[in-house]
Amino acid sequence: MPLGNEKAPVLVVGSLNIDLVVSVERFPAPGETISGQHFAVYPGGKGANQAVAAGRLGAKVYMVGCVGRDEHAGMLLRSLADNRVDAAYVRQVADATGVALIAVDSAGSNTIIVVPGANACCAAPDVDKALAGIGKPGVLLVQHEIPPATVDHAVRAAKGRGWKVILNPAPARRLSPATLELIDIIVPNESEASNLAGMPVHTVEDAAIAAQKILHQGAQTVIITLGDKGAIGCSETGEWHIPACRVAAVDTTAAGDAYIGALATGLTEGCSLEECMRFAGVAASIAVTRPGAQPSLPWRGELPDQNPARQGI
């Protein structure tokens, strides 16, 4: 699904959160109090993470979303600027900036509770302003941490202007067939794919079946990320499995965001979908070896080969 030889922009419509992260030996049972080992505050939010991931990898990135007028907003806006993301379309509102409460256990797994705050204010006019201002079509990235009506509008509006649309359906929710038919690539993880396909997804074989089910619901291409089992890609032209790189995971919080940001970057550079998936897998493998969301995302020079088309994993 290349966009041609000239690099196209990436437009991210999504959430901006401050991540409050605590490391624990294990997750507490209901009603149990345990001691944490380390606490940190990081810029995050699935939308902002994906924007930063693409920005660090060399894409021309624009961010649409909402933050408050508080100290957290300042941290998020500085992070976007420091990571080559144009924040001209990020609107400040009266509501508090969104917050994510994240616990990371000794195996690098996480649990996340999100308080949307200002993210709930992201609306259709924010999207329209950005599309009109950018002009040239490229790759649109959307997720589910902003209002569903805004996601649906972004998909329809961008598609009508010739953009390629990537949806990361997180948190999981059902999608209308009308929206699915406009999505070029949908990228769920195992639990999100389970929700969409109506079946458990635990293995590569499960993911292949689930991908076919989601494909038949209307999406043009399905990529299911499987953590240390790699990723399954499925379209009308075929199916393929890209194994994961072998690394020691420290924190998986932004692995999916690293993957999607890299996927979009590769598409803007005219690479094939399989080439982009390999490139994305390398970026995600680096992210899980470091703590935090945005701080863990790799820069282009950290990848073994700076051309997505020549990644060999």
pLDDT at 126 over 60: yes
Helix, coil or strand: residue 220:
coil
Residue 5 in this model has a pLDDT that exceeds 70: no
3-state secondary structure of 32: coil
The total of other beta-carbon atoms located within 10 Å of residue 124's CB is: 15
Confidence class for position 13, pLDDT limits 50, 70, 90? very high
State the pLDDT at residue 107: 86
Q: What integer pLDDT is reported at residue 73 of this predicted model?
A: 97
* Over residues 271-281, mean pLDDT: 94
Residue 172: predicted pLDDT: 87
pTM above 0.85, yes or no: yes
Q: Residue ranges per domain, the chain?
A: 10-26+39-310
Report percent pLDDT > 90 for the chain: 81
Higher pLDDT, 249 or 58: 58
- 289 in helix, strand or coil? coil
The pLDDT of residue 20 is above 80: yes
The phi and psi torsions of 83 (rounded to 5 degrees) equal: -115, 30
At 6 the pLDDT is: 59
3-state secondary structure of 285: helix
Query: In this structure, are residues 286 and 303 in contact, taking their beta carbons and an 8 Å threshold?
Result: yes
The predicted pLDDT at position 177 comes to 85
Residue whose C-alpha is closest to residue 235's, from 174, 185, 176: 185
CATH topology of domain 10-26+39-310: UDP-N-acetylmuramoyl-L-alanine:D-glutamate ligase (3.40.1190)
Dihedral-angle region of residue 82 (phi above 0 means left; psi in -120 to 50 means alpha; beta otherwise): alpha
pLDDT at 256 over 70: yes
- Count of beta carbons in the 10 Å neighbourhood of residue 162: 11
pLDDT on residue 293: 82
Read off the pLDDT of residues 22-52 as tens digits, 9 standing for 90 and up: 999 999 999 999 999 999 999 999 999 999 9
* pLDDT at position 311 over 80: no
* Residue 111 vs residues 6, 44, 103, 121, 253: alpha-carbon distances, Å: 40, 15, 5, 25, 9
Chain mean pLDDT for the chain: 92
Do residues 211 and 174 touch, judged by C-beta distance below 8 A? no
Residue 185 Cα distances to 181, 260, 277, 282, 312, angstroms: 10, 10, 12, 19, 23
Q: Answer whether residue 309 shows pLDDT above 60.
A: no
Task: Please list the active-site residues.
Answer: 257
CA atoms within 13 A on the CB side of 40: 14
